[in-house]
Each structure stands twice: as structure tokens, then as C-alpha cells.
């Protein structure tokens, strides 16, 4: 098994109170969990990938959500507590799924990755749809249960169930 840690959308606009699409106080709780995951992954020499929302001003998503994560703005930057290292890969995305219109799949394949471990936000949006595409592409998926969250607690719980029961993802806890 060759695993990569995939950190989803831990950027200022979602993580920070006052950010364009702040996801709520649970964001502060997942930061230390993801810090532990980053330490674990780097110690194990696993590939670390950051998916980051990176929107154009007229992106279709803004029909549903307020503008956020505009390319080139501070809101689109990864929070410094989870700063990428020199060997980490950053994959900007314009859709919920980190695989859609990006080079995530070939990046993982070139590193012989067959399993991805997801952490970040939101459980029911970008985590869920990235996991769905990963499963369609044949990757095994793990989700750090205490390292994912959402602005909508019920949607978060439903998504965890969907991830486990429909997509066959393995729910793990950060140790």
C-alpha cells in the first residue's frame, strides 16, 4: 500500500473567523488533528498533497456560494499552521472534487499512490466529492474522522455515513 495524505481546503477563507466562507468554530478543532497527520505522513515519507480552492471571479460555484478563495487573494492561501513543506504538492481546484480539471490523478499515479487519506473541509462537499472521484478511479480512500468538518453538522454526519457505507471509505481517527 502506498498512501498519500490529501489535505482539503485548509485556507484562510474557510478556516478563519471573518473569512469569506468561514466554516465555523469546528475548523479550529481540526487544525491540530491535521498537524498531527502531517507530522505522521512526513515521518512515514508519504506524499502530502494540499487541495486548495482557487476560483476565478466568475466561477459557476458563486451561483450557490458567496465568492471565496479568489486566485491571488490572501483568502485562498493555506493557513500558516499547516504550511506546506518543500516536498509537498499543492493542487489548485475550481470544483468540489480535487480530481476535476486538475493533475491530481497523474500526480498520484506517478508516485504509485494507491490509497489516499483525506482530511480538511467540508466533509459533505469537497471531501465527499474528492472521495467519490478517487473511488471511481480505483483508489482506496481513508477519511480522518476527527480531521474533517463542515459548517453543517448534520450534513457532516450524513457525509461520513455516505463515505463509509456507499463509497467504501475507511474512517480512521488520528492517533
The answer to whether the peptide bond before residue 122 is cis (omega within 30 degrees of 0) is yes
With CA atoms as reference, report the closest residue to 121 among 41, 29, 44, 38: 29
Residue at grid coordinates 488533528? 33
Q: Minimal CB distance to Zn ion: which residue?
A: 53
Beta carbon of residue 139, minimum distance to Zn ion (angstroms, whole number): 22
Q: For residues 69-98, which are near Zn ion according to CB under 5 A?
A: none
> Per CB under 5 A, which region of 45-53, 111-119, 127-135, 143-151 contacts Zn ion?
45-53
Instruction: Choose between 51 and 163: whose C-beta lies nearer to Zn ion.
Output: 51
Q: How far is the CB of 65 from Zn ion (least distance, A)?
A: 6
Q: Which residues contact 85 (CB under 8 A, 6 or more apart)?
A: 42, 48
Task: State whether the Cα torsion 26-108-84-142 is positive or negative.
Answer: positive
Is the separation of the CB atoms in 142 and 127 below 8 Å? no
x/- letters, 2..41, toward Zn ion (CB under 5 A): ----------------------------------------
CB of 61 to Zn ion, least distance (A): 5
What pairing do the DSSP bridges indicate for beta strands 170-172 and 140-149?
Answer: parallel
Q: Give least dist CB 112 to Zn ion, A.
A: 30
Residue 82 is placed in which grid cell?
A: 499547516
Helices (H), 16-142: 26-43, 104-110, 128-136
Binding mask 46-65 for Zn ion (x = CB under 5 A): -------x-------x----
Residue pointed to by grid coordinates 466529492: 129
Which CB, 98 or 147, lies closer to Zn ion?
98
Q: Does the footprint of Zn ion cover residue 121 (CB under 5 A)?
A: no
Find the shortest distance in angstroms from Cβ 113 to Zn ion: 24
Residues that bind Zn ion (CB under 5 A): 53, 61
Amino acid at each position: 500500500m502506498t498512501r498519500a495524505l490529501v489535505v482539503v481546503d485548509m485556507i484562510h477563507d474557510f478556516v478563519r473567523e471573518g473569512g469569506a466562507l468561514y466554516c465555523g468554530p469546528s475548523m479550529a478543532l481540526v487544525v491540530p488533528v491535521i498537524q498531527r497527520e502531517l507530522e505522521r505522513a512526513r515521518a512515514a515519507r508519504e506524499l502530502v498533497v494540499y487541495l486548495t480552492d482557487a476560483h476565478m471571479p466568475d466561477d459557476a460555484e458563486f451561483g450557490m456560494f458567496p465568492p471565496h478563495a479568489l486566485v491571488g487573494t490572501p483568502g485562498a492561501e493555506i493557513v500558516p499552521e499547516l504550511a506546506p513543506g518543500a516536498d509537498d504538492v499543492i493542487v489548485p481546484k475550481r470544483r468540489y472534487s480535487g480530481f476535476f480539471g486538475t493533475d491530481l490523478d497523474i500526480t498520484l499515479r506517478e508516485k504509485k499512490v494507491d490509497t489516499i487519506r483525506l482530511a480538511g473541509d467540508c466533509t459533505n462537499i469537497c471531501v465527499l466529492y474528492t472521495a467519490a472521484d478517487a473511488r471511481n478511479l480505483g483508489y482506496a480512500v481513508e477519511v480522518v474522522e476527527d480531521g474533517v468538518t463542515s459548517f453543517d453538522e448534520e450534513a457532516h454526519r450524513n457525509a461520513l455515513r455516505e463515505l463509509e457505507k456507499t463509497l467504501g471509505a475507511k474512517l480512521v481517527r488520528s492517533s
